[in-house]
Amino acid sequence: MNSLTELILPNVVLTCLTTDKFKTNCLSINLLTPLNRETAAKNALIPAVLCRGTATLPDMAAISSKLDSLYGARIKPVVRKKGEIQVIGLYADFADDAFIPEKCDILEQITGLISEMLLMPKTRGGLLLRDYVESEREKLLEQIRGRVNDKRSYSVQRLFEQMCAMEEYSTDKLGSETEAESITPNELTRHYHALLAASPIEVFYCGSAEPERVKAALKTTLAALPRSDEEPDLGTDIRMNALEAEPRYFEDRLQVTQGKLAIGFRLGDCMEDPNAAAIRVFNAVFGGCATSKLFMNVREKLSLCYFASSFVDMHKGILAVSSGIEFDKYDAALSEILSQLEAVKSGEVSDYEIEAAKSSVVSDYLTIEDSPLALEDFYLNQALIGPDCSPSELAALAEEITLKEVVEIAKGVECDAIYFLRGTEEDA
């Protein structure tokens, strides 16, 4: 698998992963923009509106039928939050030419279509179609309101909203309901032009075509891309310490039968010069894999919960634990989770635990190379925060991580906030 990264237009970087390993290829175009409360919902709305109609394929029926005729190719709007950068994109996946029963240059057709969606949306009088804007705005609102339906992710989202209240990170990738409600076609059209011109763009391709072919196709279809001289200030504010001496506590009450406990930590010192592989191994030891301390102790040994796991956001330097518990197990579960972190800090990690954690991280890295979707996200992260190496190189680094490095990372970790989603019926 050969990777090649190249500037193909001003502030437009193409990463090409050339391989004939996959029968389905992918191509994505991503605009990078600062995450903030005022623009998040508008940004999130844009790719959805772009997918509704273009100058030559004016409605969803026309676009979908074109995609169907390209053997079920798909182009989807994708909105991601990478620390305090919001990534607004279109992601296409499509059959490799070699495996379809007739000759057709799917890559060129997809490149043409995705670029047209980005650059030539259906407009009337220069404005994005009112119909499309309003209907997608309603759907965005439904999605924002629908976040409460998945109690596990909702509890983590509520944790970050409150723990990082003074940081842009508190903004959800879809923005807020109030902001979304007020979007008009006029405003969105203006915002779309500004976003398109100002945003650095990351293009990613993974498939069998030679980079020259991909580049040639994109240079033609993106020729009309506007580029402004203004550079947005992209980056993430990484706070090293908890805000207060004791973790802050937040709660909500909803009509649920099981409580959700979410705990947020600052990774601290290790973010000065982050060693991605080591931080992943630390997380795997603590709560990021099936042999982790949280899984083995909080879930298996003490039966305190149905799930308990941790994850890190490398962009922001945050560690979070998410757990589902009975309401009356709050104290026991919280104290057990925190004491497991203390155990890592004091080096109480067996050889078995560290080796198992390393194997899990190595495997996670290696499997990235088996999936175009995972590769796309990996190289986007790499473009934003590095490190400049392939998944298999990171896997090799993870093999070498020592307990000492894990303990060093753990020592810098500080608990910043605790969030508990509890029932309306139970006693306070």
Partner 1 sequence: MQKEYFKNIDETLISEVLPNGLKINIVPKPRFSKSFAMFATDYGGADRRFKLAGQWIDTPAGVAHFLEHKMFDMPDGNALNALSSRGASPNAFTSSGITAYHFESTSRFDENLRTLLEFVSTPYFTPESVQKEQGIIGQEIRMVEDTPGYVMYYNLLKCLYASNPVRDSVAGTVGSIAEITSETLYRCHKVFYNPSNMTLAVVGNVDPEKVIEMARELLPSEPGEVPERDYGERETEAPRQKSIAIPMEVSAPQFLFGSKLAPEKKGAARLRQALVGEIALRLIFGASSPFYVRLYAEGLINNSFDYELDYTSGTAMILAGGESRNVDGVMNELSAEIGRIKADGLDKTLFENTRKSCFGSQLRILGSFSSLAQTLADGAFADYCPLDAFEEIKKIGLSDVRDFITVNLSPEKLALSVVSPLER
- Nearer Cβ to partner 1 (92/384): 92
Structure tokens at 99: 């495996």
Q: How far is the CB of 426 from partner 1 (least distance, A)?
A: 13
Q: Which range of residues in 28-36, 80-88, 303-311, 401-409 is near partner 1 by CB under 8 A?
A: 303-311
Alpha carbons 179 and 189: distance in angstroms, whole number: 16
Q: How far is the CB of 134 from partner 1 (least distance, A)?
A: 9
Q: Does 149 bind partner 1 (CB under 8 A)?
A: yes
Q: Does 2 bind partner 1 (CB under 8 A)?
A: no
Site for partner 1 in 94-133 (CB under 8 A): 94-95, 98-101, 131
Query: In this chain, which of 138, 212, 237, 400 binds partner 1, going by CB under 8 A?
Result: 138
Query: In this chain, which of 135, 153, 228, 275 binds partner 1, going by CB under 8 A?
Result: 135
Q: Does 67 bind partner 1 (CB under 8 A)?
A: yes
Q: How far is the CB of 412 from partner 1 (least distance, A)?
A: 26
Burial (0-12, 13-18, 19+ Cβ within 10 Å), 259: buried
Alpha carbons 162 and 307: distance in angstroms, whole number: 23
Alpha carbons 175 and 180: distance in angstroms, whole number: 7
Residues 45 and 137: beta-carbon distance below 8 Å: yes
Residues 98 and 208: beta-carbon distance below 8 Å: yes
- Nearer Cβ to partner 1 (242/325): 325
Terminal CA-to-CA distance of the chain, rounded, Å? 57
Q: Does 69 bind partner 1 (CB under 8 A)?
A: yes
Query: In this chain, which of 8, 71, 123, 219 binds partner 1, going by CB under 8 A?
Result: 71
Alpha carbons 323 and 156: distance in angstroms, whole number: 10
Q: Does 251 bind partner 1 (CB under 8 A)?
A: no
Structure letter (DSSP) for residue 73: -
Q: How far is the CB of 184 from partner 1 (least distance, A)?
A: 17
Query: In this chain, which of 10, 146, 386, 387 binds partner 1, going by CB under 8 A?
Result: 146
Structure letter (DSSP) for residue 54: B
- Nearer Cβ to partner 1 (313/326): 326
Burial (0-12, 13-18, 19+ Cβ within 10 Å), 98: exposed
- Nearer Cβ to partner 1 (61/223): 61
- Nearer Cβ to partner 1 (150/210): 150
Question: Any residues with CB less than 8 A from the CB of 249 and at least 6 apart, and which?
Answer: 417, 418, 419, 420
Please report how many Cα atoms fall inside a 13 Å half-sphere around the Cα of residue 347, on the Cβ side.
5
Alpha carbons 93 and 159: distance in angstroms, whole number: 34
Alpha carbons 198 and 163: distance in angstroms, whole number: 31
Q: How far is the CB of 59 from partner 1 (least distance, A)?
A: 7
Instruction: Tell me the helix, strand and coil percentages in the chain, rounded to 5.
Output: 45, 25, 30
Q: Does 253 bind partner 1 (CB under 8 A)?
A: no
Residues 23 and 62: beta-carbon distance below 8 Å: no
Q: How far is the CB of 269 from partner 1 (least distance, A)?
A: 28
Query: In this chain, which of 2, 126, 142, 273 binds partner 1, going by CB under 8 A?
Result: 142
Maximum distance among all alpha carbons in the chain?
68
Structure tokens at 407: 């303990």
Per-residue mark of binding to partner 1, 13-52 (x: CB under 8 A): --------xxxx----------------------------
Q: Does 80 bind partner 1 (CB under 8 A)?
A: no
- Nearer Cβ to partner 1 (201/289): 289
Alpha carbons 311 and 309: distance in angstroms, whole number: 7
- Nearer Cβ to partner 1 (51/415): 51
Structure letter (DSSP) for residue 208: S
Q: How far is the CB of 273 from partner 1 (least distance, A)?
A: 27
Site for partner 1 in 342-381 (CB under 8 A): 352, 355-356, 358-363, 366-367, 369-372
Phi-psi region of 425 (alpha: psi -120 to 50; beta: other; left: phi over 0): alpha
Residues that bind partner 1 (CB under 8 A): 21-24, 59-61, 64-65, 67-73, 93-95, 98-101, 131, 135, 138-139, 142-143, 145-149, 151, 254-258, 289-291, 296, 303, 305-306, 324, 326, 352, 355-356, 358-363, 366-367, 369-372, 392
